[in-house]
A = this chain, B = another copy of it.
């Protein structure tokens, strides 16, 4: 399998990206190939010397860089030789089986949509992210690919995320919930009400109904479906709140005394690790005709390594094939809405 990694993406590029790739290299099979893509002279200082250079690792030069805050579509148009643009193009022409980036999310999504096109039967791709919760992992889709969402998009996110949760996370019959603002069918906006009808109509989806914001973390569901704007707020709010709360606890403990703080450190570390969103490696762009993982901008080597291992599993599990097959027999048609 050929796995490409964007060496220029994220706050810790290229050093942590290269480090993650080298760590993954040790865990992959001999026949797997890892490709670092980015500005060659910026990557090379972080690579081992010629004598210790691992086999199955190569570098593809991409002289341009898309910044984290650049406007995606314009950046892609201007910087055709950037790692993101080049990587998506090469993946689409079959040179890579899967691609990974911790760079500009919007640019990654746009590049993949532009080059790979959608899977057969899929109207719009969505980003799925798996969050560790107090009740087990929950896959949330979409977290920001699509902010003009229609009921058919949400229905397809439910289908794709179910396949993903089953094959990637080993959850046999994933419980799918629709993000709403009250458990009753009558509550929510028009999008939620219409989506609910589509989900109710498909007996093959284990649809458990609407959930509220508070239910995401308590083990009620395995998959939570929402439009990209809401999902993005959910994801970033969760990150900000968890980080803030841990900082507040740390400060309170330090105010109490260093000895007490030291005693609680291992307990806090354990909790932090248990609910660490870096564990799952990154978010999947579900629905494109290819395999693309988008990592958090703050990703360090461990996340990159986890993302590489996850992306290999994603391809091996033939998730895209299963999605296409499911949608081809679904009674809910792409032009339903």
Report which A residues bind B (CB closer than 8 A). 69, 71, 106, 133-134, 144, 147-148, 179, 181-184, 186-190, 192, 212-218, 226, 228-230, 232-245, 247-249, 252-253, 256, 260, 263-264, 267-268, 270-271, 274-275
CB distance from A231 to the nearest CB of B (A): 9
A252 in contact with B233 given A147-B181, A148-B190 (CB within 8 Å)? no
Report B-chain residues with C-beta under 8 Å of the C-beta of A263.
260, 263
A233–B271 contact, CB under 8 A?
no
Report B-chain residues with C-beta under 8 Å of the C-beta of A267.
249, 252-253, 256, 260
Task: Give Cα A215 to B232, complex, Å.
Answer: 13
A247–B134 contact, CB under 8 A?
yes
A213–B233 contact, CB under 8 A?
yes
Quick one: which of B189, B235, B249 contacts A229, CB cutoff 8 A? B189
A179–B233 contact, CB under 8 A?
yes
7 contacts between A and B (CB under 8 A): A148-B189, A181-B228, A213-B236, A213-B238, A215-B240, A230-B230, A245-B275
Report B-chain residues with C-beta under 8 Å of the C-beta of A252.
267, 270-271
How many copies of the chain does the oligomer comprise? 2
Other than the known A218-B240, A249-B249, what 12 A-B pairs have Cβ atoms closer than 8 Å? A133-B244, A147-B188, A181-B236, A213-B237, A214-B243, A217-B244, A218-B244, A237-B238, A241-B241, A242-B245, A253-B267, A263-B263
Task: Give Cα A214 to B242, complex, Å.
Answer: 10
Report B-chain residues with C-beta under 8 Å of the C-beta of A260.
263-264, 267
Report B-chain residues with C-beta under 8 Å of the C-beta of A148.
189-190
Report B-chain residues with C-beta under 8 Å of the C-beta of A215.
240
CB distance from A75 to the nearest CB of B (A): 11
CB distance from A164 to the nearest CB of B (A): 22
A213 in contact with B189 given A247-B134, A249-B267, A270-B252 (CB within 8 Å)? no
A181 in contact with B217 given A267-B249, A271-B249, A271-B252 (CB within 8 Å)? no
CB distance from A138 to the nearest CB of B (A): 12
Report B-chain residues with C-beta under 8 Å of the C-beta of A245.
242, 245, 271, 275
